[in-house]
Chains A and B, each alone.
Chain A
Amino acid sequence: MLKIIFVTVFIAAPFTAMAQTSPENNAQPSGDAGHGKILFISDGCSECHGTVGQGGVGPHLAPKPLPAEAIASYIRHPAGVMPPYAASVVSDADVADIASYLRSVPAQPKLGSLPELND
């Protein structure tokens, strides 16, 4: 049976899934981060994951993204509500570039350093 994740058509209601990315694996990356950034935005990933992969309707993907192969595998056959991207529209090489871009995203500030989130 398909795994089903809750979503609403119009609103992100209170129980939006809070998915987690796994830590980066050891395989050494290849791919063009600059081109990956362009693709991440033009292919629409940023609409749901934010322009720096910080999350939005979809979970945060960066920093410390999944390896390129895992990203490719996920976007071809998403398990939840994410729409699928066929290899004909986002190639493995494109995914490698996207992964490279996500790896280049700097770490976010520490929660403790932001008074706005600690009142």
Chain B
Amino acid sequence: MVFDKSKNSKDERDDQINPARRKFFGAVAAGAAGGVVAAAMPSVARANDQTAANAVPLDTVPGSPATIGPPSAVLRLDEIGPVPADEQIYVGKTGSDFMVDVIDTLDLDYCAVLPGSTFRALQESLINYGNNKKPELITCTNEDIAASLAHGYAKVANKPMMALVHGVVGLQHASMGIYNAWCDRAPMIVVVGNTLDEAGRAPAGAEWDHSAQDNAAIVRDYTKWDDQPTSLEAFAMSMVRAKTISTTIPCAPTVIVADNEMGEHELPGPEPYIPSLTVDSTPVGDPASLAAAAKMLVSAERLVILADRLVRTQDGMDTLVALAETLGAPVIDLASRLNMPTRHPLNLSWAGEDLLTKADVVLVLEPVNLFGALHKYRDWPDRTYLQVVKPGTKLISIGTQNLLTHANFQDSGRYQPVDLAITGDGETSLPLLLEAVKQAGPKDASARAAMLKAASDKMHEKLRQNATYGWDASPISVPRICAELGYLIKDEDWALITPQDFQSFWPSKLWNFTKAYQYKGNQGGFGVGYEPGASIGAAMAHRDAGKRLSVGIIGDGSLMMNPGALWTAAHHKIPLLWVVHNNRAWHQERMHVQRMADRHSRGITRTTIGTTMTDPNIDFAKLADSMGVWSAGPITDPSALKPALQQALDMVRQGQPALVDVVAQGR
């Protein structure tokens, strides 16, 4: 039978329930607490699902209170007679099957999920109707992991995946991961379960706490668009729109609140229309502005290029290199993405301050925090800052930052005036800019390039020299961890799948990054806990792209926020290496507390309180082992590091996750 949803009142609906079933409800209600009544609702199964016939009456389930359970099978037969064969047994296509048809059109390979009753019909359809393919469910142990997994995946795959989360509570967990993705302009489609019509909720119990009039309000300040369709046709339209909006640059998460009621029942009539997906073009800088920029660039004497959230694809990196070479300009990679090959002689990221001080023109590509990039700042109570570039330096920016902002969260940074601000996607505008530069007649760049190469050689020599200090120390030095790991993978097709901020960017300082996919930046919103999920998502995309070797260095604090990701990696057999940078602290914050204690001239030896993870020390190898991840450690002797890394990498090459716990220096 099919509920007539047009019958809105409780009474009208009750009339639809056959009399025998009403009797059943009556019998149960006699001694029942509401929550159990909900659980005791007759099984609803598709025709091809045999399990309904074998359903165990609740009163035989251990732990269910006998006094309030439903009647036994015998009693039930006595009381209400045989249940009509057609009762709630759906043989046709359900609403949630149709939802899967819609999702099918969106080319989504994966859906990160942590189960919740508010989307139980959709989950069942994804598994049985959609056969758990495209999207394949990736089981997560916290919705924060689900969202960050989708975030990490999107940056490497350059396409979104779906995250399916429980109404209210699931979305609240996911919100941290969604915020990071928002700040990082990464696409994902978040589908949230809900039961909007209160008549559709079980009379008592969790469905009330997990339903909301406006679920998406929880994350609206940091998503690009949301909708709560109330019909299947509207669901189709909204899902397709959610993908279009999420993936149109600048990208960001979108949210669809999917009503469970819509999914549970058979399709009431003919299949609703599913619009085909429109792929929007990318906004680029206007020709006049690009020509004006080109003129300024070719006439600059000491041009510097800053690149931040710029490169998505290899074409983007190659064009940036071509532009820098054409102009003989140094590039400072601000590292929200890997923009410039780390050993290119024009990559002077670690000598940037000197170059900026002398610059007459600065070209900034996809700035994230431009003011921060152009100022020195002192973290003292006086908050002093100083502009690095000299007065009169001309600033040109190309980016999409102002195309997507919301009011509440302050992720846009301090306002930085710019002389020529060009709105348009950096990567897509680059070939046009390069063409305009060639038209404008660039000067011979060879002398400047030779001078910059000498500076780059000096910079690298100094970085490598700095890495030798503390080489044999225990706890093990961070540059040593990075150097050893980089050396073991250098001849393979590898990618770094974790941020580098807390490793002081030693991988970028030491390793030979040449491909855009080899590094995809950090959390976006600096929300710690991103790394475990995001590194799995990234590793999935690298695996799918052709068995790239995925390696990551992860903080103990970050891993402890979402240790359940270990299980997800083991369960789905995701090949990746996690090296735990185990400084037994939230070291970043410990330094902050130390700064305060020093300045307040008291208790300078007490800053371990609330900032360190000792007593007991956490055994990450055991933790990983308990969830099925191959592991080694704790490694305290630096000479034991290489063999452990070698063994772990072998496991990863065989297609499984591995973890090496390294007791390490703070920074």
Residues of B within 8 A of A13 (CB): 334-335, 372-373
Residue of A nearest to B587 (CB): A47
By DSSP majority rule, is chain A's interface helix, strand, loop, or mixed?
Answer: loop
> How far is A15 from B372 in the complex, measured between Cα atoms in Å?
11
**Residue contact A5 to B376, C-beta cutoff 8 Å:** yes
> How far is A64 from B345 in the complex, measured between Cα atoms in Å?
32
Shortest CB–CB separation between residue B382 and chain A, in angstroms?
A: 8
Encode contact with B along A1-23: 1 for CB under 8 Å, 0 otherwise.
Answer: 01011111111111111100000
A104 within 8 A of B: no
Residue of A nearest to B607 (CB): A44
> How far is A47 from B605 in the complex, measured between Cα atoms in Å?
12
Q: How large is the interface on A (under 10, 10 to 19, 20 to 34, 35 or more residues)?
A: 35 or more
B379 within 8 A of A: yes
> How far is A15 from B355 in the complex, measured between Cα atoms in Å?
11
User: Which of A7, A44, A60, A106 meets B598, CB within 8 Å?
Assistant: A44
> How far is A118 from B335 in the complex, measured between Cα atoms in Å?
24
B501 within 8 A of A: yes
B8 within 8 A of A: no
Residues of B within 8 A of A8 (CB): 372, 377
Known contacts A4-B384, A43-B605: does B469 contact A108 (CB below 8 Å)? yes
A34 within 8 A of B: no
**Residue contact A14 to B349, C-beta cutoff 8 Å:** yes
User: Which of A17, A53, A114 meets B483, CB within 8 Å?
Assistant: A114
Shortest CB–CB separation between residue A52 and chain B, in angstroms?
A: 5
**Residue contact A12 to B469, C-beta cutoff 8 Å:** no
- CB-CB contacts below 8 Å: A70-119 with B: 80-81, 83-86, 88-90, 106, 108-111, 114-119
> How far is A5 from B380 in the complex, measured between Cα atoms in Å?
11
Known contacts A44-B604, A116-B487, A117-B510: does B501 contact A14 (CB below 8 Å)? no
- Among the stretches B267-275, B459-467, B551-559, the one at the interface with A is B459-467
> How far is A57 from B466 in the complex, measured between Cα atoms in Å?
12
**Residue contact B332 to A12, C-beta cutoff 8 Å:** no
Encode contact with B along A38-50: 1 for CB under 8 Å, 0 otherwise.
Answer: 0000111011101
Shortest CB–CB separation between residue B186 and chain A, in angstroms?
A: 18
Known contacts A4-B385, A4-B386, A116-B484: does B380 contact A81 (CB below 8 Å)? yes
Shortest CB–CB separation between residue A115 and chain B, in angstroms?
A: 7
Shortest CB–CB separation between residue A23 and chain B, in angstroms?
A: 15
Shortest CB–CB separation between residue B620 and chain A, in angstroms?
A: 20
**Residue contact A84 to B590, C-beta cutoff 8 Å:** no
- CB-CB contacts below 8 Å: B165-206 with A: none
**Residue contact B378 to A55, C-beta cutoff 8 Å:** no
Known contacts A54-B477, A60-B469, A109-B472: does B505 contact A14 (CB below 8 Å)? yes
**Residue contact A108 to B505, C-beta cutoff 8 Å:** no
Known contacts A6-B376, A47-B587, A90-B604: does B490 contact A119 (CB below 8 Å)? yes
**Residue contact B380 to A109, C-beta cutoff 8 Å:** no
Residues of B within 8 A of A14 (CB): 332-335, 349-350, 352, 505
**Residue contact A81 to B464, C-beta cutoff 8 Å:** no
Encode contact with A along B591-612: 1 for CB under 8 Å, 0 otherwise.
Answer: 1101111110110110100000
Known contacts A15-B352, A54-B470: does B487 contact A115 (CB below 8 Å)? yes
> How far is A10 from B222 in the complex, measured between Cα atoms in Å?
21
- Which of B376, B483, B484 gathers most chain A CB within 10 Å? B376
**Residue contact A43 to B378, C-beta cutoff 8 Å:** no
Shortest CB–CB separation between residue B30 and chain A, in angstroms?
A: 61
Known contacts A8-B372, A50-B477, A111-B464: does B504 contact A16 (CB below 8 Å)? yes
**Residue contact B594 to A55, C-beta cutoff 8 Å:** no
B52 within 8 A of A: no
User: Which of A6, A51, A110 meets B473, CB within 8 Å?
Assistant: A51
- CB-CB contacts below 8 Å: B362-415 with A: 372-373, 375-380, 384-386, 388
Shortest CB–CB separation between residue B332 and chain A, in angstroms?
A: 6
**Residue contact A9 to B379, C-beta cutoff 8 Å:** yes
Known contacts A5-B376, A50-B473, A80-B378: does B468 contact A86 (CB below 8 Å)? no
A29 within 8 A of B: no
**Residue contact B597 to A54, C-beta cutoff 8 Å:** no
Known contacts A6-B377, A14-B505, A109-B472: does B595 contact A83 (CB below 8 Å)? yes
Shortest CB–CB separation between residue A34 and chain B, in angstroms?
A: 17
**Residue contact B590 to A47, C-beta cutoff 8 Å:** yes
**Residue contact B384 to A2, C-beta cutoff 8 Å:** yes
**Residue contact B487 to A44, C-beta cutoff 8 Å:** no
User: Which of A15, A52, A57, A119 meets B591, CB within 8 Å?
Assistant: A57
User: Which of B475, B486, B596 meets A51, CB within 8 Å?
Assistant: B475
B301 within 8 A of A: no
Known contacts A10-B501, A117-B464: does B470 contact A55 (CB below 8 Å)? yes
Shortest CB–CB separation between residue A100 and chain B, in angstroms?
A: 18
B471 within 8 A of A: yes
**Residue contact A111 to B484, C-beta cutoff 8 Å:** no
- Beyond the given A4-B377, A17-B353, A48-B594, could you list 11 further A-B residue pairs with CB under 8 A, ordered by the A residue number? A6-B388, A7-B376, A7-B377, A8-B377, A15-B332, A18-B350, A18-B462, A55-B466, A84-B599, A117-B467, A119-B512
A–B pairs, 23, beta carbons within 8 Å = A4-B378, A6-B377, A7-B377, A8-B372, A11-B501, A11-B526, A14-B332, A46-B666, A47-B590, A47-B591, A47-B594, A51-B475, A51-B665, A53-B470, A56-B504, A56-B667, A57-B504, A60-B469, A84-B598, A89-B604, A114-B468, A116-B487, A119-B486
Which 3 A/B pairs are nearest by Cβ-Cβ distance?
A54-B470, A56-B667, A54-B469
Mark A residues whose CB is within 8 Å of B.
2, 4-18, 42-44, 46-48, 50-57, 60, 62, 80-81, 83-86, 88-90, 106, 108-111, 114-119
